[in-house]
């Protein structure tokens, strides 16, 4: 008789050890969602490596080892996300302190929101993501010429919206004026 079918072996391991693994990860996580993620990742690894799982009681211990590593990765990811969030909060606080008065910021956001979603995406790719026309053409799946034309039109529409809001872009510096006029 040959080796057992991998699917059957996985099902047997899953049925035999699911409850134990659920308890293991639940006791080591803050919430049910984290436990579910860890359990799912553990059994996904088990499925991929079903031929590496030892027989008998050793299978449960092997699964605990995988779950332990999965949980460690979760904790590292949460720590990284927490550190990033703290850094972003700090940057935003610093950025906000150096900005124009609140009413100007609100008027600019409202002018931007009045643009079409396509215009907002295009202007965001240039301004926020720092992409050039060739890169934007790749992202949008069109030619560079089409990007240049769309960008020119989007900037004109934004300029009209900002003029309607009676905002003086010169007060925001030459970079803001250059971006709007397509000189960046």
Residue 176 is predicted with a pLDDT of: 62
Q: What is the pLDDT of residues 156-168, one digit of tens each?
A: 898 888 878 777 6
pTM over 0.95: no
In CATH, the number for domain 100-181 is: 1.10.10.10
Tell me if the domain spanning 6-94 has CATH number 1.10.1740.10: yes
Domain parsing of the chain, residue ranges: 6-94, 100-181
Q: Please, are residues 63 and 46 in contact by the beta-carbon 8 Å criterion?
A: yes
Whether 21 and 67 have beta carbons less than 8 Å apart is answered as yes
24, 67 Cβ separation under 8 angstroms: yes
Residues of the chain whose pLDDT is less than 50?
184
pLDDT digits (tens, 9 = 90+) for 95-136: 656 555 555 677 788 888 899 989 988 988 888 888 889 999
Q: Contact 153/122 with Cβ under 8 angstroms?
A: no
Tokens, residue 83? 């550190």
**140, two tokens:** 């949008």
Which of 21, 30, 132, 20 lies closest to 66 in space, CA to CA?
21
Determine contact, residues 176/130, Cβ cutoff 8 Å.
no
């Amino acid at each position: 008789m040959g080796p057992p079918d991998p699917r059957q072996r996985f099902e047997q391991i899953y049925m035999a050890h699911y409850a134990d693994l659920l308890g293991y990860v639940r006791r080591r996580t803050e919430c049910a969602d984290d436990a579910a993620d860890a359990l799912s990742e553990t059994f996904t690894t088990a499925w991929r490596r079903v031929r590496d799982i030892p027989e008998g009681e050793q299978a449960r211990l092997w699964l605990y080892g995988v779950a332990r590593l999965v949980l460690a990765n979760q904790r590292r990811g949460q720590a990284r996300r927490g550190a990033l969030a703290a850094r972003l909060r700090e940057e935003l606080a610093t950025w906000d302190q150096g900005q124009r008065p609140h009413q100007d910021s609100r008027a600019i956001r409202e002018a931007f929101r009045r643009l079409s979603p396509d215009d907002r995406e295009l202007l965001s790719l240039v301004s926020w993501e720092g992409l050039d026309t060739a890169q934007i053409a790749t992202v949008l799946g069109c030619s560079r010429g089409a990007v240049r034309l769309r960008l020119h039109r989007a900037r004109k529409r934004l300029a009209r919206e900002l003029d309607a809001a009676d905002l003086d872009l010169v007060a925001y510096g030459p970079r803001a004026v250059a971006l709007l006029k397509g000189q960046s």
